[in-house]
Chain A
């Protein structure tokens, strides 16, 4: 044990050196502090560089240090390389060397199937150089395990959702096609029979949409964000092309502002663009010639991406409810849809730190906008 120096609270300024003031806090000795540290289940440490440039510990105390026989006394004079098995020491060394360069980045290392989180703090000397590194180590095995389990469960759910949605579509296609065959031969059916067949077809179609939308909605919430620069203009034109393929009979005049770049997850951003443009396409179906655009504008200091159309619009007082899941508007009753698309959009935009909104009037078109986190509006 190094020589013990007294630390603790001293009586305030003017009374210094005088008799202790009544009620003054008694000082805590280094020995008492050490006693407290040893009560911790975790580890508090301090390490320094030896004359040979290697890392040595001058303090390593706490429950974990005792369990691994790595207490200050037990590791005295041993360098990092001597203490840890070869594979582990290299990774640990890199992190500690970084801390000696001033890094405070936390890291997790594995030892014997258990995981330990290190929170290093460099201590700077008067010359501004790192004299030592102090820090805190705690076991995070349960957390790491839970994260692994969660990641696996997510992967399983993802593949389950895909399989279910894909495999459900096949029998659904058969139901839907055969209902349409019967509808085609409606002359052979009485009125009730025709109605029944029509309802079968309708139900199959709604179910198909729900499967697709639910799959997308669940993905939008779970998928890890991979941010990169996204060319929104090019993406909009790709989606436009896909929509034109699906609605070959429509006359839609589409414009996309050139050079729109954002920082976002490209796959999720694609879902946003598909939904907003898809809606614009859908709700202009009544128009002989429809006009749809995507562009940017600045409002309240934030850059907004806006999709406009000259379709059926919506009542202003319905604007707030547009982004709620499974909610459809009275003005949209004639149009097919599950009401999940815009909530998927909202979910994705919110995960990017942005906001969504809509402006419109019944019969006068709609404008749907979103922002991304300020740093994302590259």
Chain B
């Protein structure tokens, strides 16, 4: 699947990309929250793996924008401080992954997010 990794921390971003590539995915990475929409247009990911704490990012607005741009695109949030209350009910959020994560869990979560979207959209 095609995964867009959005995280401002270079080490996290690069290591996550390497990990997802090791699992055979097509991966693009973006460090700048302001450029995510452009990257989505250009890369057409199946799922976005989005860091929760990024400078200058208002999560709800960001996710609403993404939902308008690419309706139904599943977003998996990626967080070091697990405060699930804060992310419940945000638009488009399929799942939350806590850092650090297990590759298998991340894999399952991304698959479930994409499968959920496909099921909702009626595509196989």
Contacts and interface: CB of A to CB of B under 8 A. Distances in A.
B81 A184 contact: no
A22 interface: no
Contact of B101 (A173, A245, A249): A173
A174 B80 contact: no
B88 A184 contact: no
B100 A176 contact: yes
A208 B95 CA distance: 20
A171 interface: yes
Interface in A176-219: 176-178, 180-181, 184-185, 204-205, 208, 212
B112 interface: yes
Contacts of B102: 180, 205
B50 interface: no
A169 interface: yes
A204 B108 CA distance: 20
Interface in A212-262: 212, 238, 241-242, 245-246, 248-249
A234 to B, nearest CB: 12
B100 A177 contact: yes
Contacts of B22: 180-181, 184-185
Contacts of B16: 177
Nearest to B116: A248
Contacts of B99: 169-170, 172-173
Contact of A173 (B18, B23, B96, B100): B100
Interface in B78-124: 80-82, 84-85, 88, 95-96, 98-103, 105, 108-109, 112
A170 B80 contact: yes
Nearest to A248: B112
A181 B11 contact: no
Contacts of A205: 100, 102
Interface string B23-50: 1000000000000000000000000000
B96 A172 contact: no
A181 B18 CA distance: 7
Most buried by B among A212, A241, A245: A245
A114 interface: no
A202 to B, nearest CB: 11
B88 A176 contact: no
Contact of B108 (A173, A184, A249): A249
**Interface SS of chain A:** helix
A228 B9 CA distance: 40
Contacts of A248: 95, 108-109, 112
A174 B15 contact: yes
Given A184-B19, A184-B22, A242-B84, A174 B112 contact: no
Interface string B1-24: 000000001011001101100110
Most buried by A among B12, B80, B98, B112: B80
Interface in A339-373: none
Nearest to B115: A248
Nearest to A169: B80
A166 interface: yes
Contact of B103 (A175, A180, A242, A249): A180
Contacts of A208: 100
B11 A174 contact: yes
Contacts of B105: 246
Nearest to B104: A180
Contacts of B19: 177-178, 180-181, 184
Contacts of A169: 80-81, 99-100
Contacts of B108: 248-249
Contacts of B101: 173, 176-177
A245 B116 CA distance: 12
A205 B16 CA distance: 16
A145 B56 CA distance: 39
Given A177-B18, A242-B96, 4 more contacts: A178-B18, A180-B103, A181-B19, A184-B103
22 contacts: A170-B80, A171-B11, A172-B99, A173-B12, A173-B15, A174-B11, A174-B15, A177-B101, A178-B18, A180-B19, A180-B22, A181-B19, A181-B22, A184-B22, A184-B103, A185-B22, A208-B100, A241-B88, A242-B96, A245-B95, A248-B108, A249-B112
* A-B interface, 8 closest residue pairs, ranked by CB to CB distance from nearest: A184-B22, A177-B15, A173-B100, A176-B100, A169-B80, A173-B99, A180-B103, A248-B112
